Amino acid sequence: MKYIDHHAHMVSRTTDDYQQMALTGCVAVTEPAFWAGWDRSSANGVEDYFRQLTEFEPGRAAQYHIQHYTWMAMNPKEADDRELSRDVLTRIPKFLDKPTVLGIGEIGLNRVTRNEVDTYTEQIDLALTHRQLILIHTPHLEDKLKGTRISLDAMSGFPKLDPSRVLVDHAEEHTCRMILDLGYWAGLTLYPQTKVSPQRAADIVETFGPERICVAGACDWGPSDPIAVPRFIMEMRRRGHPEELIYRIVFENPVQFLSQSSKFRIRPSVAKELAF
Amino acid sequence: MHDRTPLSPKGLVDEYFIENRTRLLEIAAFLDRVDRVDPSYPAKDFRMKAFLEALASLARTGDRVDHIQMLLSDPSTEPLEALDRKSAVGAYDRWRRE
Ligand SMILES: [Zn+2]
Q: Which CATH number do you get for residue A53?
A: 3.20.20.140
> Helix or strand or coil: residue A69?
strand
Handedness of CA A89, A94, A100, A103 (dihedral sign): positive
Q: CB-based contacts of A160: which residues, under 8 Å, 6+ apart? A: A128
C-alpha A192 to ligand 1 mean position (Å)? 15
C-alpha B9 to ligand 1 mean position (Å)? 36
In angstroms, what CA-CA distances link A191 with A26, A221, A230, B97?
A: 18, 12, 13, 34
Phi/psi of residue A274, each to 5°?
-80, -5
Q: Are A4 and A250 in contact (CB under 8 A)?
A: yes
**pLDDT given at position A275:** 66
In angstroms, what CA-CA distances link A102 with A82, A127, B13, B63?
A: 25, 11, 43, 37
Q: A-B interface: how many C-beta pairs under 8 angstroms?
A: 88
C-alpha A224 to ligand 1 mean position (Å)? 11
What are the start-end ranges of the E strands in B1-98? none
**pLDDT given at position A272:** 74
Confidence of residue B98 (pLDDT cuts 50, 70, 90): low
> Chain A partners of B84 at a C-beta cutoff of 8 Å?
111
How far is A144 from A142, CA to CA, in rounded Å? 6
How far is B84 from A219, CA to CA, in rounded Å? 27
**pLDDT given at position A270:** 82
Order of strands across the sheet that contains A101-108: A3-5, A26-32, A67-72, A101-108, A133-137, A166-169, A185-189, A213-216
Determine the residue among A141, A175, A235, A241 to mutate to test chain B binding: the one whose Cβ has the most chain B Cβ atoms within 10 Å.
Answer: A141
**pLDDT given at position A145:** 98
> Helix or strand or coil: residue A202?
helix
> Which domain does A208 fall in, by range?
3-272
C-alpha A145 to ligand 1 mean position (Å)? 17
Going from the first residue of chain A to its last (276 residues), give the mean pLDDT of each consecutive group of 10, the final group possibly shorter: 97 96 98 96 98 98 98 98 98 98 98 98 98 98 98 97 98 98 98 89 97 94 93 97 97 98 93 70
Residues, beta carbon < 5 Å, ion ligand 1: A 34
Nearest chain A residue (CA) to B84: A111
**pLDDT given at position B1:** 46
Confidence of residue B86 (pLDDT cuts 50, 70, 90): very high
| Number of domains chain A contains | 1
How far is B5 from A202, CA to CA, in rounded Å? 9
> Chain B partners of A80 at a C-beta cutoff of 8 Å?
83
Nearest to A65 by CA among A124, A117, A19: A19
Q: What is the mean pLDDT of residues B1-26?
A: 92
Q: Which of A110, A115, A241 sits opposite B6 (nearest CB)?
A: A241
Cβ-defined contact of B76 to A207 (cutoff 8 Å): no
**pLDDT given at position B64:** 97
Q: How far is B11 from chain A (nearest CA, A)?
A: 9
